């Protein structure tokens, strides 16, 4: 990049070839008013506030689109430009409803703050008073089109950052509005609820139901943390007022892991169930009643310490610190049966990797950023938009921005199937054969950049044509997909629930073989279920032999320690299999059918309330910081577990 | 020096701007020394006499309000608008995006607490205008102190400037729309 010198407001400043005038101004601390410009998005020049005068240009030009060139002379502010800017503001204010007194964004609105800057104490134009829709169909955000200035930041965020492209401009000219899909209510559209539009909106047009009127950003404390929900570990910025989460934002939407999803951005603003607010144990009547930590520890140590056949299960949502304490406690108790709730996934994946080749298989585990740089992405039995939405966004972004080819192999429809170059749709349970048929077709294609001698054995056993008939699939689709994958230079394979549900490690091995066949540097991402699944696996909590959850229902286990943390998703099945257990301890954030079955219940803090470290599904260590205080006097998970251990020794 | 004659009117608004004026603390004593109030909700004088400064709180939403602001403009040399309603339309202008007849029907007939309601027809009740207007869309306004209500500090600024013989333009740091 070559350096250029230009004159702005009479001063010589430096910039780079390819910069816009606005970028040079920003780099040199020269302030220009903007509304439609947003970091990380393509500029469109919609708002006309950054108009500047450039020598030899016939009329003012938008700085956000004008390429900076060597030697140009720019004026960013003079009487005429300032007059134009105020005029633009007045037009914006009169176009729709921009009366601040009853707007949720008042005090946090870029339009309002520009009006203050330009001392816009009145407007000279007639109001047009359109009566537009207030779309509250979405569970988390409301879209009030009356407050919209059509800057298009939401649309560009949805397209360029989220990759969903659920929003766009609808209608024409005077009647233009932001439209979800083809004028659907937002809640019924293809929106994936990432909330990027809400964060990017400069006015009160898009606001969050969980944040509205809870407090203005300038009244809030800001806590930087990272999300511990799904194992991606997105950076988050919590805005807190009076120990209440007002909103969760991304610190920088445009950064690589800057995008958030509904689980991290919106769900923590709501309370999904009643909390466990203190330790509880069964009283004389057999009812759960509050007690002190000491009493609870005493009861647990006495019972679990005396029982022989006990089991301990942890959720992959617990932090590494809690899991370490959990492991120590189990050592002290002599617990033989230790597992995680997602132990089945662990066994399927690790045994699959072992069947394939342990060292090479582990080396294939890819980082999430690899998705963004891929030219072909094969998604097998996974619905990341639902389970790991940010990964879903990465895939959609890779497809739309970088023109990566998507191949979906899934019996079920998901948001990728219509975006895919090929959707291979085997009947349910036949995914295995379909993967092999794909491998066979790749061998047929001939141009294989991976190791043909090493990885092809499994794929020679099937014949794509025959398999297609059995699967009820079009063989041309299989060959088309094979061509895309064989000719890609940088492919990524993502698999998830749709494969792991079969608990069949050989399917994982087949996927790894396929990856090895396609590429010299194979990249595979397995979608692990919880925020700290990988951490739990690495700490050896998951049982390598077999499921402990299934052992529970066999009736041999007399005592159970269940570290549930803020895992609410766990099934009714688990509470059913707890029936025969003599003594059960449940450590959980929320009351649930599982806590109902427990003999002692210990409270647990949420990830938004505690400090902890987590390992992302691609192996990066992230930590959370407490954004709010949990219910009074609740100990951290690790301290609670250590408390029990201490009582054992007495 | 003769006192500056001031008239204030309270149109379609909540009186919050006048409250904010009464909230300017001891400055109100200085104002009282320099200013003589004519027609105003504060003096309860109902008839217009020629004044130096007219002050309008509120937007213009019916025939009576339109008449009052026109008469005020006719009787004053400088007209100052107080508050979001007079400057922009404010909360009252919520109805502007709706049809006037729908608004009346909703308010007088359809509300849950209304029994056998009817829309007032008496000539004594001023008719609604089709929309709610900020003051400057009916008459010429010379200066504006927006805010809902304006901060006492902003009102004080406006009066101080006027008393010093200048037309006030509210600086950014004390301008508020809420």
pLDDT confidence bin for A650, thresholds 50/70/90: low
pLDDT confidence bin for A401, thresholds 50/70/90: confident
pLDDT at residue A576, as a whole number: 82
Residue A175, domain CATH: 3.30.70.20
Give DSSP secondary structure letters for A79-91.
Answer: HHHHHHHHHHHHH
Collect all residues of chain B within an 8 Å Cβ-Cβ radius of residue A204: none
According to DSSP, the β-strands at A73-75 and A51-54 are: antiparallel
Say if residue A286 is in the same domain as residue A329. Answer: yes
pLDDT, tens digit (0-9, with 9 covering 90-100), for A329-356: 999 999 989 999 999 999 999 999 999 9
Q: What is the mean pLDDT of residues B94-105?
A: 95
pLDDT at residue A556, as a whole number: 87
Contact A236, A248 (CB under 8 A): yes
How many residues does this entry show for chain B? 178
Q: Is residue A55 one of the residues assigned to a domain?
A: yes
pLDDT confidence bin for A449, thresholds 50/70/90: confident
Residue A30, domain CATH: 3.10.20.740
Q: Is residue A102 one of the residues assigned to a domain?
A: no
**Shortest Cα–Cα distance, A129 to chain B (Å):** 5
Find, in chain B, the residue whose alpha carbon is nearest to that of A131. Answer: B97
CA distance A499 to A525: 12
Collect all residues of chain B within an 8 Å Cβ-Cβ radius of residue A129: 93, 96-97, 131
pLDDT at residue A255, as a whole number: 87
Lowest mean pLDDT among A324-328, A436-440, A450-454, A458-462: A450-454
**Shortest Cα–Cα distance, A21 to chain B (Å):** 27
Q: Is residue A415 one of the residues assigned to a domain?
A: yes
Q: B97, B129, B140: best mutation site toward chain A, by most A Cβ within 10 Å?
A: B97
Q: Is residue A594 one of the residues assigned to a domain?
A: yes
Q: Which one has a higher pLDDT value, B58 or A401? A: B58
Q: What is the mean pLDDT of residues A595-610?
A: 95
Q: Which one has a higher pLDDT value, A402 or B83? A: B83
| DSSP3 helix / strand / coil % (chain B, rounded to 5) | 40, 20, 40
pLDDT at A459 over 80: yes
Tell me the CA distances in angstroms from A161 to A155, A179, A182, A185, A261, one per residue in order.
Answer: 10, 18, 20, 22, 12
pLDDT at residue A580, as a whole number: 80
pLDDT at B124 over 80: yes
Name every residue whose Cβ is closer than 8 Å to that of residue A486 and which is 6 or more positions away in sequence: A442, A445, A446, A447, A448, A449, A518
Say if residue A170 is in the same domain as residue A151. Answer: yes
CB-CB under 8 Å, A99 with B89? yes
Lowest mean pLDDT among A208-217, A373-382, A444-453, B108-117: A444-453
pLDDT at residue A476, as a whole number: 95
CB-CB under 8 Å, B148 with A100? yes
Residue window 139-198, chain A: list those with CB within 8 Å of chain B.
Answer: 146
Pick from A118, A122, A131: CB nearest B87: A122
Question: Considering chain A, what percentage of its residues have pLDDT values greater than 90?
Answer: 87
* Mean of all residue pLDDT scores within chain B: 96
Pick from B87, B96, B175: CB nearest A116: B175
pLDDT at residue A571, as a whole number: 65
Q: Is residue A107 one of the residues assigned to a domain?
A: no
pLDDT confidence bin for B12, thresholds 50/70/90: very high
pLDDT at A572 over 80: no
pLDDT at residue A453, as a whole number: 84
Q: Is residue A435 one of the residues assigned to a domain?
A: yes
Collect all residues of chain B within an 8 Å Cβ-Cβ radius of residue A131: 97-98
Q: Is A102 within 8 Å of chain B by CB?
A: yes
Q: What is the mean pLDDT of residues B95-115?
A: 94
What's CA A286's distance to the chain center, in Å? 42
Q: A95, A99, A114: best mutation site toward chain B, by most B Cβ within 10 Å?
A: A99
Domains of chain B: residue spans and CATH: 4-95+129-174 (3.40.50.700)
Report the C-alpha dihedral over residues A135, A138, A139, A145, rounded to 10 degrees. Answer: -40
Q: What is the mean pLDDT of residues B35-42?
A: 95
pLDDT confidence bin for A568, thresholds 50/70/90: confident
Collect all residues of chain B within an 8 Å Cβ-Cβ radius of residue A118: 172
SS3 per residue for A513-568: HHHHHHCCCCCEEECCCCCCHHHHHHCCCCCCCCCHHHHHCCCCCCEEEEEEECCC
CB-CB under 8 Å, B175 with A93? no
CB-CB under 8 Å, B81 with A119? no
Q: Is A124 within 8 Å of chain B by CB?
A: yes
CA distance A44 to A300: 64
Single residue among A19, A54, A77 that ends a domain in this structure: A77
pLDDT at A594 over 80: yes
Say if residue A364 is in the same domain as residue A481. Answer: yes
Domain total in chain A: 4
Say if residue A230 is in the same domain as residue A362. Answer: no
pLDDT at residue B82, as a whole number: 98
Q: Is residue A115 one of the residues assigned to a domain?
A: no
pLDDT, tens digit (0-9, with 9 covering 90-100), for A419-428: 999 999 999 9
pLDDT at residue B142, as a whole number: 98
Q: A311 phi and psi, to 5 degrees? A: -125, 155
CA distance A241 to A461: 63
Q: Is residue A262 one of the residues assigned to a domain?
A: yes
Contact A130, A15 (CB under 8 A): no
**Shortest Cα–Cα distance, B141 to chain A (Å):** 10
Say if residue A544 is in the same domain as residue A633. Answer: yes
Beta bridge partners of A20: A67
pLDDT confidence bin for A257, thresholds 50/70/90: confident
- Residue A20's domain comprises 3-77
Collect all residues of chain B within an 8 Å Cβ-Cβ radius of residue A146: 97
Q: Find the DSSP H helices in chain B.
A: 16-22, 27-34, 63-75, 83-88, 100-105, 152-163
Single residue among A501, A526, A551 that ends a domain in this structure: A526
Say if residue A176 is in the same domain as residue A205. Answer: yes
Collect all residues of chain A within an 8 Å Cβ-Cβ radius of residue B175: 115-116, 119, 121
Say if residue A465 is in the same domain as residue A497. Answer: yes
Say if residue A554 is in the same domain as residue A629. Answer: yes
Say if residue A581 is in the same domain as residue A608. Answer: yes
pLDDT at residue A152, as a whole number: 97
pLDDT, tens digit (0-9, with 9 covering 90-100), for A527-541: 999 999 999 999 999
Q: What is the mean pLDDT of residues A433-439?
A: 96
What is the C-alpha radius of gyration for chain A, rounded to an integer number of angstroms?
28
pLDDT at B32 over 90: yes
Say if residue A375 is in the same domain as residue A291. Answer: no
Collect all residues of chain B within an 8 Å Cβ-Cβ radius of residue A106: 177-178
Beta bridge partners of A492: A377
Say if residue A263 is in the same domain as residue A331. Answer: no
Say if residue A191 is in the same domain as residue A330. Answer: no
Q: B14, B57, B88: best mutation site toward chain A, by most A Cβ within 10 Å?
A: B88
């Amino acid at each position: 990049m070559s350096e250029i010198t230009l004159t702005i407001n009479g001063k010589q400043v430096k910039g780079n070839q390819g910069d816009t005038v606005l970028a040079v101004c920003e780099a040199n601390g020269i302030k220009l008013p903007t509304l439609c410009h947003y970091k990380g998005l393509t500029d469109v020049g919609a708002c006309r506030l950054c108009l500047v005068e450039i020598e030899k240009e016939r009329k003012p030009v938008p700085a956000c689109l004008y390429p900076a060139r060597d030697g140009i002379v720019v004026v960013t502010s003079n009487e005429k430009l300032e007059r134009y800017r105020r005029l633009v503001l007045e037009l914006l204010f009169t176009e729709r409803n921009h009366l601040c007194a009853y707007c949720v964004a008042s005090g946090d609105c870029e339009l309002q703050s520009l009006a203050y800057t330009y001392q816009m104490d009145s407007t000279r134009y007639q109001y047009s008073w359109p009566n537009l829709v207030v779309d509250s169909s979405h569970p988390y955000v409301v879209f009030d089109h009356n407050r919209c200035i059509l800057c298009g930041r939401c649309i560009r965020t949805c397209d360029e950052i989220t990759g969903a492209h659920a929003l766009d401009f609808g209608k024409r000219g005077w009647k233009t509005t932001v439209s979800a899909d083809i004028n659907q209510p937002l809640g019924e559209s293809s929106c994936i609820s990432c909330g990027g539009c809400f964060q990017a909106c400069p006015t009160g047009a898009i606001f969050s139901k969980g944040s509205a009127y809870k407090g203005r950003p300038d009244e809030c404390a800001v806590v930087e943390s990272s999300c511990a929900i799904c194992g991606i570990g997105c950076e988050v910025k919590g805005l807190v007022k009076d120990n209440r989460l007002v909103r969760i934002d991304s610190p920088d939407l445009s950064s690589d892991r800057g995008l958030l999803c509904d689980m991290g951005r919106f769900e923590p603003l709501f309370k999904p169930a009643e909390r466990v607010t203190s330790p509880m144990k069964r009283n004389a009547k057999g009812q759960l009643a509050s007690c002190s930590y000491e009493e609870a520890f005493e009861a647990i140590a006495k019972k679990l310490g005396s029982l022989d056949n006990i089991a301990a299960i942890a959720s992959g949502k617990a932090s590494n610190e809690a899991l370490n304490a959990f492991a120590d406690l189990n050592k002290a108790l002599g617990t033989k049966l230790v597992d995680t709730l997602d132990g089945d996934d662990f066994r399927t994946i690790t045994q699959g990797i072992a069947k394939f080749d342990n060292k090479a298989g582990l080396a294939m585990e890819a980082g999430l950023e690899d998705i963004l740089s891929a030219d072909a992405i094969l998604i097998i039995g996974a619905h990341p938009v639902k389970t790991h939405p940010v990964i879903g966004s990465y895939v959609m972004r890779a497809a739309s921005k970088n023109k990566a080819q998507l191949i979906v192999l899934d019996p079920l429809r998901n948001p990728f199937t219509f975006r895919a170059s090929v959707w291979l749709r085997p009947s349910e349970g036949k995914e295995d054969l379909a993967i092999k048929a794909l491998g066979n077709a790749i061998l047929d294609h001939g141009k294989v950049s991976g190791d043909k001698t090493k990885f092809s054995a499994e794929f020679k056993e099937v014949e794509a044509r025959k398999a297609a008939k059995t699967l009820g699939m079009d063989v041309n689709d299989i060959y088309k997909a094979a061509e895309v994958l064989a000719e890609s230079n940088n492919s990524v394979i993502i698999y998830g629930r749709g494969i792991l549900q079969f608990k069949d490690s050989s399917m994982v091995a087949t996927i790894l073989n396929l990856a090895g066949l396609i590429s010299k540097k194979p990249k595979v991402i397995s979608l692990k279920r919880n925020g700290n699944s990988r951490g739990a696996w690495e700490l050896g909590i998951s049982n390598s032999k077999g499921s402990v959850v299934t052992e529970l229902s066999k009736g041999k286990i007399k005592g159970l320690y269940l570290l549930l943390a803020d895992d609410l998703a766990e099934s009714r099945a688990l509470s059913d299999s707890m029936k025969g257990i003599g003594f059960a301890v449940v450590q959980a954030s929320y009351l649930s059918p599982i806590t109902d079955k427990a003999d002692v219940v210990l409270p647990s803090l949420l990830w938004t309330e505690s400090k902890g470290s987590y390992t992302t599904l691609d192996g990066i260590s992230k930590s959370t910081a407490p954004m709010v205080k949990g219910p009074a006097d609740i100990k951290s998970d690790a301290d609670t577990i250590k408390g029990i251990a201490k009582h054992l020794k007495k | 020096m003769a006192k500056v004659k001031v008239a204030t009117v309270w149109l379609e608004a909540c009186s919050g701007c006048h409250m904010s004026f009464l909230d300017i603390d001891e400055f109100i004593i200085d104002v009282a020394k320099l200013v003589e109030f004519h027609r105003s909700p504060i003096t309860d004088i109902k008839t217009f006499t020629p004044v130096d400064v007219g002050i309008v709180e509120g937007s213009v939403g019916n025939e009576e309000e339109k008449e009052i602001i026109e008469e005020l403009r006719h009787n004053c040399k400088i007209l100052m608008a107080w508050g979001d309603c007079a400057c922009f339309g404010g909360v009252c202008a919520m109805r502007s995006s709706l049809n006037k007849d729908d608004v009346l029907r909703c308010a007088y007939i359809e509300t849950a607490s209304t029994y056998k309601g009817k829309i007032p027809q008496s000539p004594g009740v001023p008719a609604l205008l089709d929309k709610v207007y900020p003051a400057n869309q009916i008459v010429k306004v010379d200066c504006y102190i927006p805010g809902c209500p304006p901060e006492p500090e902003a009102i004080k600024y406006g009066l101080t400037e006027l008393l010093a013989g200048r037309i006030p333009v509210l600086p950014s740091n004390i301008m508020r729309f809420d």
